[in-house]
Each structure stands twice: as structure tokens, then as C-alpha cells.
Amino acid sequence: MGLLRKKSKEGGEGKGSEAVKALKSLVYGMAAHGMVSYALKTKMHLENLFMLITLGDMLGLPVLPPYYTLRLLPYAVPHVKTWKRTLLRERDVTDLIVG
């Protein structure tokens, strides 16, 4: 293991690996960045919808019977703080255009 590390340092392969990294990031930016950002936005919206359906009682919007809410509560508790922050965040008209 140590010999392989010495060879890679001495051989000057650092520039080649940097070029490969740059090429990979270029291809990622051209091909996959839009899809990845769209998937992350969709995931965020679905998680917000899940939290609204599960814990809508906090806002005065009863959607599910309390039994099912209590069954889903252990999965929702770790996300309550961030959900409330995003729900109560001040929004502007430009957020709709950009987001």
C-alpha cells in the first residue's frame, strides 16, 4: 500500500487526476446537474407534503385521524424543526420565479 502511494506522488499523476476530476465535473454539469437538482426539489416538496399530512394538526389542518398520526410520529419527529422553519419562512414573489 505504501509503495503505491509513493509511486503516485513521484510519478506526477496529480495533474492527470485533476484533469480527470475537472472532466468529470464538466460532464456532470452538462448532463446530470439539472436532473439531480429537479430530483432534490421534488424530494423536498414530497417531504413537506408528508409532514403537512402527518402533522397538519399543528397548523389547525386535521387531515389524518390521530391514530395514524401517532403511528407515523416516530418517523416525522426528527424533521419537525426544519419543516416548521421552512413553512413559516417569509416568502417573496421572486421566490416563486426562482424556486
* CA 76/CA 69 separation, integer angstroms: 9
In Å, how far are 7, 16, 20, 31, 56 from 13, measured between CA atoms? 9, 5, 11, 27, 56
Query: pLDDT tens digit string along 6-39?
Result: 444 554 456 789 999 999 999 888 888 889 999 9
pLDDT band for position 4 (cuts 50, 70, 90): very low
Whether residue 57 lies inside any domain: the answer is yes
- For residue 72, being part of any structural domain is answered with yes
Please tell me whether the overall predicted TM-score, pTM, comes out greater than 0.75 for this model.
Answer: no
Residue 55, in any domain of the structure: yes
Domain contains 15: no
Number of domains in the chain: 1
Report d(CA 97, CA 77) in Å as an integer: 31
Across the chain, mean pLDDT equals 78
| Type of residue at 54 | T
**What pLDDT, on the 0 to 100 scale, is given for residue 39?**
94
Grid look-up 423536498 returns 44
Give the pLDDT of residue 22.
92
- 26, part of any domain: no
Give residue 69's domain range: 37-98
**What three-state secondary structure class fits 12?**
coil
In this structure, the number of other CB atoms found within 10 A of the CB of residue 55 comes to 21
